[in-house]
Chains A and B, each alone.
Chain A
Amino acid sequence: MTDTDLQSIEPRTAAPALGQSRPWRTAGRTIAAAVEAVAPDFPRLDAATRRVVLTDVAAFTASQVDAMPEHLRYLYRLALIAFEWLAVLRFGRPFTALDGDRRRTWVDFWTESPLAASRNFVKLIRSCTLLAFYDHPAVRDPLERQASRTTGSTVAIP
């Protein structure tokens, strides 16, 4: 499978740049796909907004990986490659070529793994995604509107 194949299958969230060489470009797409898999569905956003938000969130997450101390960054990128290609053993396709449900299954598999390293790998992507998603300016309004508010008067706090 070539890079072009991968892009044509999952073009929904633009892949952030993560280094210039080919494996790192692929890793950027892995991050974008993983961000989509873990992104929350509350609050509901219209498709265009969600796309913009997830693109920003993926860029934020990729730059977080890029900001790791050098020695860890290389390890994490290797983990991204493993995450991408080990999916072939289970689904016959790399992670970025899977549909949404399978991606989520693969993410859950890593999240629930007995190996701390694989849990931590997903945790980083999930934490960055949640932070950037919920603090995204375009999410603020829907978040305010769709929050479950208390009915009646607010209890006074002494």
Chain B
Amino acid sequence: MTIGSGVPAGGQGFAVENLVVGSGAGGAVTAAALAEAGREVLLLEEGPATDTSRVATNSTAAIAHLYRNRGMTPIFGRQAIVYVEGRCVGGSTEINSGLWHRLPDDAYQRWRSDVLLRNFSPDVMTPYFERIERDLSVSLVPDGQIPASSRLFRRGIERLGWDYQQVPRCQKDGGSQFAPGAKQSMQRTYIPRAVAAGARLLADTKATRLVIEGDRVVGVQVLQHPHGARRRFEIRAATVFLCGGAVQTPALLRRSGVKRNVGDSLRIHPMIKAAALFDEEIEAHDDALPVYQVKEFWPTITMGGAVFTPGFLAMTLADGWKAYRDAMHDWPRMGLYYAGTRAMVRGSVRVLRGFDDGVVIRYRLSEADRANLSTGLGLLGELLFAAGARAVYPSLAGAPILRSVDQCRGLVKEPIPLAAMALSNVHAFSSCPMGENRDVCATDSFGKVRGLRNLYVNDASLIPDAPGVNPQGTTMAIALRNSEHFLHLRRSFPARARPAAAARPAHLLTGAPGWLGTRLAEALTLGLPGVPSAATPRNSGLRCLVRPADDARDLERLSESLTVAPGDLTDAASLRDFCRNAEGATLFHVAGLVHPRLWTRDFDRINVEGTRALLAAAEEAGVKRAVIVSSNSPIGCNPPVPGHVFDESSPYDPYMGYGRSKARMEALVHAIQARGRLETVIIRPPWFYGPHQPPRQTLFFTMIKDGKFPVLGDGTQRRSMAYVDNICQGLLLAAETPHANGETYWIADARPYSINEIVATVTEVLESFGFVCEQRQMRLPRAAGELARRIDAALQSVGVYRQKIHVLGEMHQSIACSIAKAERDLGYAPTIALREGMTASVEWCLANGHRI
């Protein structure tokens, strides 16, 4: 292994393309995947580069050199839990038992629905597990090598008729399966591979803080401490992957000010141990690692064997030492076992200011956890007696030696107080869960931290909840999947330079990377969880028209099937390029001008002439259908009739310049449709809201928060609003419903809302995020709105547009529509209403650095 190669001495900083923080299960896989793809990688590791092939994992020397805080890390709560994790090159994989599990099937479904995890199914993940299993030589211990302590354990299980499993291990064949160096840890697998592919490894170097500028991490401050010397410097990086494990990763993020859903949902598998005295000499000491686990009570309770040395045995007896100590005389006939539970509450990881390592882990076990641990211990005792134990020594303070099955059953009937339990934990996860559920997830479905463009988490922190099995396998498979996803998106970067005509797209899209356009691109390439008709991605080639000055990188990252065609609605040649080779495709025309900078003539230039040129190019290229986004504005405002709503037969009454341009556009679309070469559908969404919103919509939140939103009149005027996912659903249905050709549809949320309701809902949502909101808004007479409308009309008559006056001029009017036709014809069924949609919008703002 090359340690520290290429790293300048003397403490000055340097720059790398990819910085991977932490060299454990997640970090080693990430570094190897990136390096083997030809990327420049620096792998940073806080712990030392101790060669663990010569250290038995269960010695005091291992504790001193390989364990974080030498194993002295408590989890605070109703009862302290001893928490152990690795801190060395290779991370916890150097000190663990190497027991291997794939993710159980039930977790896939749970994570899809709980955290809206995308692209995550057994079909997707199985190949990753298989590849890693080959790399780590995951295999079963041959029968002849199964240690006596495990064979006794199996005897007990079989006598009780319980379900159990021999768990495979990451191990090399030949020689003792338990000898140091046999286990295929990261030091023996992925780290050498990463280094062979050119990655550099820097040990004894801790990332202390991320350097964040705007929406990017530009570098990482580090503390290097080889052999006690300390120096601090900064490493600049284009992309940073955090793989410090489920405690250190959230600690680093929080220390760096990244806190949203970070360190709030830690999950663990706490366990309690017991020693058993048998008639047989087991000689369980040294390297006898356990291989069986009881599955009868899984996932709530798991039981298995624990690593044994006389020292570990004595530690297990420590809580009842006075009563138990004589058991040490019989140590050759003793084995160590555990009962663990999948604890159900969420713990937290926090950092204390002013301390380099001031990490505080909290986990308040619930009454159910207590009962499960107690039951687990009782069942474990029963099993051990069935295996032939003479006595069982539970790791409990002040408890008697258990000498009968009845005593064990007592533990099931009457749960033990938590205060008496000596608990430990070696599995931690879920502290930065991944997924699209912004309520709880810190990252997207592939580990990208929300709100930061180039920061990824790729370790056990991502696992959305306690999987109920040993987690190294899941951690590694997720890390490999995410790394390859990242590389896959990088490979699509050159797409910007590819000629637009290269591939035949099934969909064309204008208006990305704008608000609705981006969401629709996401719907087409990734699917929209929670919107049944849009849940499945339409991954058959999407080409987006993007103005040359716009930043399309996020868009390009969505999918390899997405290509970008540089162009503009005002540039007919670029539109022809955009539509080239798109025979039979569907065009979504989302781009439009709503608020020009100053001149109203731009409305016609973009909304009418731009659409004319686009549809001409589409016709010419043989595009099958165009779905065109219009607006409520061609129809104007509702008459003063209580409960009035527009439908598709309502007459045109365009509102100002924008409405006129959209009315002309609709007329143009009808004319083109009548020619019969291009199918068209017009969609009229009113005021929309949701993720990817522009700053003006965030200003709307800020005004409500500060009590400065102008409520005109009594606030009972109604507005139809449309959450972007609802609009995307409507657009997709319009594209895919044959008889929609030539039709126009209003697409909005299920019902209109009064201005008062909108303001009250946004206030409540903001308060639920901890914002302190003014309870009263600025109240203005209706006449103020009418005055603004007249000024707006006067200005627009001379070709001038002022956005604020225009918006104020609309605020005293009702703009409400009926979606009945879309429901009837298209099967449109809006899934998101105001509160949920506004919650998602506020979350998106917070995750993307919008200041409310």
Contact = CB atoms under 8 A, between A and B. Distances in A.
Contacts of B69: 67-69
Contacts of B326: 42
Interface in B343-376: 352, 355-360
Nearest to A132: B60
A123 B330 CA distance: 23
A93 B310 CA distance: 35
Given A72-B74, A143-B331, A130 B355 contact: no
Contacts of A149: 281, 332
Interface stretch (B148-156, B229-237, B471-479): B148-156
Interface string B300-312: 0000000001111
A70 B355 contact: yes
A132 B311 contact: yes
Interface centre among A65, A140, A157, by most B CB within 10 Å?
Answer: A157
A158 B146 CA distance: 11
B318 A143 contact: no
B851 interface: no
B357 A69 contact: yes
B70 A123 contact: no
B314 A63 contact: no
A134 interface: yes
B154 to A, nearest CB: 8
Nearest to B58: A135
A64 interface: yes
B310 A143 contact: yes
A153 to B, nearest CB: 10
A147 B332 contact: yes
Given A134-B313, A146-B329, A123 B59 contact: no
Contacts of A2: none
Contact of B314 (A116, A123, A130): A130
Contact of B72 (A67, A130, A155): A67
Given A131-B60, A135-B310, A158 B355 contact: no
Contacts of A60: 60, 64
Interface residues of A, number: 37
Interface in B51-86: 59-60, 64, 69-74, 80
Contacts of B325: 40, 42
A69 B358 contact: yes
A71 interface: yes
B736 interface: no
B280 A154 contact: yes
Interface residues of B, number: 47
Nearest to A119: B397
A135 B357 contact: no
B647 interface: no
B844 interface: no
B356 to A, nearest CB: 7
B419 interface: yes
A146 B329 CA distance: 7
Nearest to A60: B60
Contacts of A120: 80
Contact of A134 (B155, B281, B314): B314
Contacts of A157: 148, 151-152, 155, 280
Contacts of B280: 150, 154-155, 157
B312 A131 contact: yes
A88 B321 CA distance: 26
A69 B331 contact: no
A70 B330 contact: no
Given A63-B70, A123-B319, A150-B281, A42 B60 contact: no
A95 interface: no
Contact of A42 (B72, B329, B357, B397): B329
Contact of A148 (B319, B321, B329): B329
Contacts of A134: 309-311, 313-314, 328
A105 interface: no
Interface string A114-158: 001001100110110011111100011001001111100011011
B787 interface: no
Nearest to A57: B60
Contact of B315 (A116, A131, A155): A131
Contacts of B321: 126, 130
A130 to B, nearest CB: 4
A25 B397 CA distance: 31
Given A126-B321, A134-B310, A154-B280, A64 B357 contact: no
Contact of B64 (A63, A68, A69, A140): A63
B419 A116 contact: yes
B595 interface: no
Interface string B815-829: 000000000000000
Interface in B682-708: none
Given A70-B358, A131-B315, A147 B329 contact: yes
B151 A40 contact: no
A71 B358 CA distance: 6
Contacts of B80: 120
A120 B420 CA distance: 11
Nearest to A70: B355
Interface in B578-634: none
Closest 3 CB pairs of A and B: A135-B311, A130-B314, A67-B70
Interface of A: 40, 42, 60, 63-65, 67-72, 116, 119-120, 123-124, 126-127, 130-135, 139-140, 143, 146-150, 154-155, 157-158
Interface of B: 59-60, 64, 69-74, 80, 148, 151-152, 154-155, 279-281, 309-315, 317-319, 321, 325-326, 328-333, 352, 355-360, 397, 419, 422
Given A131-B314, A135-B312, 5 more contacts: A60-B64, A71-B352, A134-B310, A147-B330, A157-B148
16 contacts: A60-B64, A68-B72, A69-B359, A130-B318, A132-B60, A134-B310, A134-B313, A134-B314, A134-B328, A135-B59, A135-B60, A143-B331, A150-B280, A150-B281, A157-B148, A157-B280
